[in-house]
A = this chain, B = another copy of it.
């Protein structure tokens, strides 16, 4: 094979405006935040990695198979999931040589041009693995061999990478049914890395979750509470929240189809739960129950101090055929139009003015930024805005988030960055993109004389480090 023709650069000024005045300001601001520790208050890495500290298997298993941002794009252009060895719902997998899957990925890498996946992956390739040529068909094997060989070395064990990445704290997300054994093992190990959990009770709250009946039964077994009665069910939540908090959790997280909240009377709530617990909930009952539970969770947050996160507006498992064969989280989740002003009113009427309560709102519907979310966060003491999420976690999406929330919400009703990822190696890349975009955004404000540079530098540090620590009580 000839020497590959295309060098891979990571330009030191990437994501900064070409205009020299703005670029120079952005560079100076970025110098203030580039080396700050990483605060990762919300994400989906596997705590077993840090508990067991075993090597990752190979390039394909690490970078391709778990990353639905990546394989959804290949699938959209006709690459079958079986050709990549994506696991099926029944636990089986097509027999695919991981090197062949990697070659397939390399051949299609051009599909990611301009997307955040290419930013993150090229950062990983260049910074973590020292690669200096582009990924394409001709370099597929070089990549596969380089990455796979590196992963077998001690420097690429999960804990070593955690330290190399400068992570100060990393939150994972677990179901109430999770025994948190991995988190216990991390704590017992003497390793000083701070890996904490977050309480994500969707499987025991959403009557339409395919695991709900089974999850509810196990919720009762685990807690010893009568979870088929309203009081016992709430007590079980309190018990598990307390356990999660003891294992480091500072937050809960709620992934609902909508942002609907409710504030039923105790008698109404009791009746509704009876319907739900006995499997008789209609779609409207299910929606109302999820809505009521957000308000119940807010009440518990006032008691135990856990910060509440709401990630609404996703149509999960939209592709019926794909779901039947491959199950959840296969890149077939899709955003929905999402309302907040009406939806949140019941909860806000109850707890909106509580200074001790913190509710961080996310959206997949960017039209809500300037219309609903920024005005809400710019008024209610309890409300904060989470960063551009999922489909919008790209330079353009981050820029729109800032442009559309600044006027009504300012910078200080936002909470800095979440990487929200299961792609562990991309965490530094994602935080780097966020810091660069915020610095570029601030540089424009400075260059257009709306903010002095010393103020912008303070804001940059707040966004990169101080605000996430404050918002998540870290």
Copies in the complex: 3
CA distance A406 to B334 in the complex (A): 16
Categorize the interface residue count of chain A.
Answer: 35 or more
A355 contacts across to B, CB distance below 8 A: 78
A211 interface hit (Cβ, 8 Å)? no
Q: Is A214's CB within 8 Å of the partner chain B?
A: no
Decide: A319 and B113 in contact? CB cutoff 8 A.
Answer: no
Q: Which of A119, A352, A379, A451 has the most CB of B within 10 A?
A: A379
Nearest residue in B to A444 (C-beta to C-beta)?
A: B18
8 Å CB interface, A411-429 against B = 411-413
Contact B112 A379 (CB under 8 A): no
The answer to whether B334 and A349 have CB atoms under 8 Å apart is no
Contacts known (A319-B380, A381-B77); A17 close to B448, Cβ less than 8 A: yes
Q: CA of A179 to CA of B310 in the docked complex: distance in angstroms?
A: 50
- B336 and A318: CB pair below 8 A? no
What 1/0 mask marks residues of chain A from 63 to 84 whose CB sits below 8 Å from any chain B CB? 0000000001101111000000
User: A110 near B73 (CB under 8 angstroms)?
Assistant: no
A138 within 8 A of B: no
Closest chain-B Cβ to A194's Cβ sits at a distance in Å of 27
**Scoring A residues 431 to 461 as 1 if CB is less than 8 Å from chain B, else 0, what string do you get?**
0000000000000110111111011001100
Contacts A341-B336, A353-B322, A391-B407 given; indicate if A445 touches B114 (C-beta within 8 A).
yes
Q: Are B352 and A321 in touch, CB under 8 angstroms?
A: yes
Q: Which of B322, B337, B377, B391 is in CB contact (< 8 Å) with A408?
A: B391
Q: Which residues 99-126 of A sit at the B interface, judged by CB distance below 8 A? A: 110-116, 118-119
Shortest 8 CB-CB contacts between residues of A and residues of B = A394-B407, A11-B449, A14-B449, A18-B447, A367-B367, A18-B21, A320-B349, A335-B371
Q: 17 interchain pairs (CB within 8 A)?
A: A9-B452, A13-B449, A17-B448, A75-B379, A76-B381, A77-B412, A77-B413, A113-B455, A114-B445, A318-B379, A319-B379, A321-B353, A334-B372, A334-B379, A365-B367, A370-B397, A392-B407
